[in-house]
Amino acid sequence: MKIAVACDHGGFPLKEAVLEAIRDTGDELLDLGAFSVVSDDYPDYAEKLGRVIQKGEAERGILLCGSGVGASIAANKLKGVYAAVCHDTYSAHQGVEHDAMNVLCLGARVVGPKLANELVAAFLAARFRNEERYIRRIEMVKKLEL
């Protein structure tokens, strides 16, 4: 699976741990930046990652900012991008299994490297449960997209 990663300056301190966690899974990695700590804007990175997901250039993404919240809000503005902030492994896998989450958002000021590794592993190991009730709900969500 191809995984895109993007972060702003607030998420940058956690980025290397996330990249390493992806490498550990054996999944293919697409690094969209930031590549240094400079003041920048999380919506730019959320859009960059979201467009990659929309085009099918990556199946999933991981977005990092200070809290994960701003990145999540911005990413969810893009049709077909289903992003959530997760600070626990249950949400990281359940969001994929039940809700077709395709972008994991993490806050570098909230989550440390060890927990980030566990969250990334749970997110990437999860698969959507192709059950009628989950499909029905996803279709309902899609109808809400503009």
Distances from the Cα of 117 to the Cα of 17, 23, 106, 136, angstroms = 7, 11, 11, 32
Three-state SS string over 12-51 comes to HHHHHHHHHHHHHHCCEEEECCCCCCCCCCHHHHHHHHHH
* Catalytic choice (7, 86, 87, 98): 98
Our answer to whether residue 98 is catalytic in this structure is yes
Question: Coil, strand or helix: which one is 78?
Answer: coil
Catalytic residue among 7, 65, 86, 105: 65
Token pair, residue 106, equals 């993490």
DSSP state of 118: H
65 is catalytic: yes
Catalytic residues: 65, 98
